[in-house]
Structure 1
């Protein structure tokens, strides 16, 4: 079971399957599932790849080969209401979840909401969130909140032209009044990581963050100033000291930004089209097509009631397709979600009989055995549990989830992790840095091993988060890490975890 969403919301998102057939598009960076026509799906997949290639070129990012476990899975739902149901919130045009088990996004082909004649609202949301995905995958240190959100806004308003070229630099018109007006944070507050006082401050992380990102991109010497600021921030300097070293008089910078905004002359950066992206499209098999709505709901995450409704349907479909690895893998997850661990193991076995390299089946078989071992410690066979995570890792060496689960199995068993498990944990984080829980586990292990420097590099992202999770406890732990006090920092995190566990109980 993944991140929880209420049963009612999930049911709204995936009602009775529509008549159109599901297709899969596989590209270098994406696995896309959609009921669009093959031609429309191909065009959509090419647009996403064009965006990815342009961002990587501008940011000088590497582009390693990815396995299925590392590709971003994109579910194209029927309409914007379906996306809202997945998010459990109205007015949401797209949803992205970064996870060790595989990052996923939910979008809609409903293009009724337009920012301007060329920018489609679902593309804006997806491009913004995908930029976060890419930024974290190429992270070399802590990134301040204004840069996280402002940079995502800068790239998120990209326009993919008919000839395949991509242009960056268009203003975020939905926030234009904040970009052009003196609202929310000023430059000093942005650069020094000031706490948001109200909603205008929070939104200005996006709008003024976009303005500052645009200004530094197109103003001579701006990228050099930004590099100096980031070096200072990640070398232990206070945000104010790093900002003043890079930009000098911050009041003068603020005046320059005001003039830049009111000029309304915003340059664009055009990246010419490269080779046509390779897109492989296939129609899903009958069993895959039938179970897909339930697979999507399960992948998004469900509560107890939702899990029960899914497993009922999954069992019915699974009975009709006992030799379909995709169906049986989905059934294994559904059985696990209702805590029917023998049923999950049986479904996983059927999936593996059809496809011996089915990673989902291996993972859920190992997880089901782990739950049985935790319930009956006297009968626990942790070597068997771990063998399935090892097999899953060998089947897809770039998949973070088996490595993370292997590491977690030692805590479940009340044992100290081995050196191999610790190495696997840190590599898992390198593969899936978008997962905050995995990041925190890696930080804690570095602290346990008295490596404050490594912990500090990873933890800054959590401290500077723009979505309300920044708190005094995290800041206090971060200061201890920067001071080289690993034991003290870990004690703070342990105390916070105990408090949260007690609150959940």
Structure 2
């Protein structure tokens, strides 16, 4: 479910970015689809990585699609407690045990070890479905499906159970005031619901409706008809009544009766999954650097405590002057809240220590590109942009699946007279391939496709933005662009 962000008092934010006094050893576990970082034991790290791989195997068995062996691995950070979690995100309200974020700066999940694993399984279901191209699902079904699989279990032998009861959602359904079912069917996502209590009911009712539909083969077949109709643009309520022959009011009564009874779940035997997991111990700097760095990467600068993060980054870099992670963190903080020259100096030193540090290369490319905007001659502009492109090519060689590198390479070309070339469109397509969850990159890629008269590709890129159940500022713009793409496709006789 989407993270909820609130402002806290400055004093709390200052406390939140202060490193813990006790030093912990961080480890990195890499498997086929995940990179999991933890300051806990190696055994628990291996067990958790294997659990995630087994859950991925269940989703793959259920939904098929590409093998996803050539996608970017999802970083997951496991921390000890709520205090550590709030170093990474001070604005989280009480009771939240973790969150998932997909932005232009990174795609990752972070959560407290041993608490609310359902949260990550919910978000990973969204993450997985984006990778298999499910962008036309109604908001309620997208959230309901994620809730449906969030309680799944998969044994080492491959025995999987999913659709297990969700006590929290059941309690809310029994105690809360239901949203009108017509509102649920029409809502694009939880952001369409005004009250916090209403948003909680949106998730609960979405789970209940999904569970009810998937509990019966006849209803499940009708669901496919309904989803196709909605995907083709039919009114959601009309499509529902045509597919199921049930009015929204009658549906509410059926769901209430269903959720009060005994809920069944599904079982499936998938091939046993024994993932290959490589564990390495990270540098001592990780214990004080990584969580403030995650905070500094936030895409919302007004929601982070910049001065405190800058001071923390300076302290960490002084303590670990030869650690690339500490220097990259300092470079980011200086560029964002401090002295840009000091930031460039820190990044230059980081790349001397670790020439393949992708984040350092990306930030240095940004610096050089910014310099080109201030250049006084075309020759100087070309030289600086060429340097930026060289830095990005180094980053791409170090990590070919990093969507940030592909997106920055494509953006660097936007000022060229021949933009977009075929290669530019391929670069945008690669950025989306490795980060279909980042809606702003999909939007930028769609604009490029429109400019290149690739209308069908633009429509495919825009549809998930329009249907994003978490909403966001790009939804209305995507609707406008989608209509424009359809209009131009028709005018070109491509319908």
TM-score by shorter chain over 0.5:
yes
4+ runs of 1 displaced by more than 6 Å?
3-7, 412-415
Q: Within 5 Å, give how 1:426-437 maps onto structure 2.
A: 426-437=429-440
Q: 1:472 to 1:412 in 2, by over 3 A?
A: closer
Q: Within 5 Å, give how 1:485-496 maps onto structure 2.
A: none
CA deviations over 1:112-140 (Å, ceiling 9, x no partner): xxxxxxxxx42011111222211222224
Question: How far off its partner does 1:213 sit?
Answer: 1.5
Q: 1:51 to 1:466 in 2, by over 3 A?
A: same
Task: Find the aligned partners of 1:224 and 1:373 in 2 and give their Cα distance.
Answer: 57
Q: 1:298 to 1:164 in 2, by over 3 A?
A: farther
CA deviations over 1:148-187 (Å, ceiling 9, x no partner): 2111111112235576644211222112134457843354
Of the three residues 305, 316, 319, the one matched with 1:317 is: 319
Equivalent pairs, count: 471
Q: Does 1:65 find its partner at 2:69?
A: yes
Q: Does 1:283 find its partner at 2:285?
A: no
Residue 269 of structure 1 aligns with which residue? 267
Residue 93 of structure 1 aligns with which residue? 97
Superposition RMSD in Å: 3.5
Question: How far off its partner does 1:450 sit?
Answer: 4.5
Q: 1:412 to 1:314 in 2, by over 3 A?
A: farther
Residue 39 of structure 2 aligns with which residue? 35
User: Do 2:77 and 2:110's aligned partners in 1 also have CA atoms closer than 8 Å?
Assistant: yes
Residue 171 of structure 1 aligns with which residue? 165
Question: How far off its partner does 1:103 sit?
Answer: 0.9
Question: How far off its partner does 1:325 sit?
Answer: 4.1
User: Do 1:452 and 1:481's aligned partners in 2 also have CA atoms closer than 8 Å?
Assistant: no
Of the three residues 27, 45, 48, the one matched with 1:44 is: 48
Residue 258 of structure 2 aligns with which residue? 260
Which stretches in structure 2 are left out of the alignment for 5+ residues?
none
Residue 208 of structure 2 aligns with which residue? 211
Task: Find the aligned partners of 1:59 and 1:449 in 2 and give their Cα distance.
Answer: 33
CA deviations over 1:291-330 (Å, ceiling 9, x no partner): 33443433456453144224312431342x2xx4444444
Task: Find the aligned partners of 2:219 and 2:14 in 1 and give their Cα distance.
Answer: 46
User: Do 1:374 and 1:412's aligned partners in 2 also have CA atoms closer than 8 Å?
Assistant: no
CA deviations over 1:448-470 (Å, ceiling 9, x no partner): 34544433333333333444548
Of the three residues 221, 224, 240, the one matched with 1:243 is: 240
User: Do 1:393 and 1:399's aligned partners in 2 also have CA atoms closer than 8 Å?
Assistant: yes
Task: Find the aligned partners of 2:286 and 2:474 in 1 and give their Cα distance.
Answer: 44
Question: How far off its partner does 1:210 sit?
Answer: 1.0
Q: Within 5 Å, give how 1:454-465 maps onto structure 2.
A: 454-465=457-468
* TM-score relative to the length of structure 2: 0.83
Q: Does 1:444 find its partner at 2:444?
A: no
Residue 424 of structure 1 aligns with which residue? 427
Q: Does 1:150 find its partner at 2:144?
A: yes
Residue 12 of structure 1 aligns with which residue? 16
Of the three residues 159, 166, 178, the one matched with 2:153 is: 159
Q: Within 5 Å, give how 1:463-482 maps onto structure 2.
A: 463-467=466-470, 469=472, 473-474=476-477, 477=480, 480-481=483-484
Q: 1:474 to 1:142 in 2, by over 3 A?
A: farther
Residue 124 of structure 2 aligns with which residue? 130
